[in-house]
């Protein structure tokens, strides 16, 4: 059986224009991207155990909280936020 099409738009919008909800703050869409890091296996296991045993916690949420806490501590110790990078970070193993 063919899927039935819907109207697509509300015909009442021509008579009563839709109004934005008042009182509800508009959430700013946060753009996120993937970051891959290599960590010691023992730490990865500890992190996974913490997420497993903490209801509502996710790996991404834990990583975001941890990165935020460390960067804020570093900025406090420095006395100011870090300036923007002049170039992208170089990938690969660090040279010794």
Domain membership flag for residue 93: no
Residue-wise pLDDT for 15-58, tens only, equals 777 777 676 667 789 899 999 999 999 999 999 999 999 999 99
Into how many domains does the chain fold? 1
Q: What is d(CA 39, CA 34) in angstroms, rounded to the nearest whole number? A: 16
Domain membership flag for residue 41: yes
Cβ atoms of 32 and 39 within 8 Å: the answer is: no
Domain membership flag for residue 89: no
Cβ atoms of 68 and 79 within 8 Å: the answer is: no
Give the range of the structural domain holding residue 54, as residue numbers without chain letter: 36-82
Domain membership flag for residue 57: yes
Residue-wise pLDDT for 54-64, tens only, equals 999 999 999 99
Domain membership flag for residue 11: no
Domain membership flag for residue 24: no
Closest CA to 71 of 82, 83, 60, 56: 82
Domain membership flag for residue 96: no
Q: What is d(CA 37, CA 23) in angstroms, rounded to the nearest whole number? A: 41
């Amino acid at each position: 059986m063919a899927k039935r099409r819907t109207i697509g738009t509300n015909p009442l919008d021509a008579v009563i224009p839709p109004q934005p909800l008042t009182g509800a703050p508009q959430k700013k869409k946060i753009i996120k991207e993937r970051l891959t890091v290599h960590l010691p296996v023992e730490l990865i296991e500890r992190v996974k155990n913490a997420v497993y045993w903490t209801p509502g916690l996710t790996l991404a949420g834990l990583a975001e909280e941890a990165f935020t806490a460390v960067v804020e501590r570093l900025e406090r110790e420095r006395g100011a936020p870090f300036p923007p990078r002049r170039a992208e970070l170089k990938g690969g193993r660090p040279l010794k």
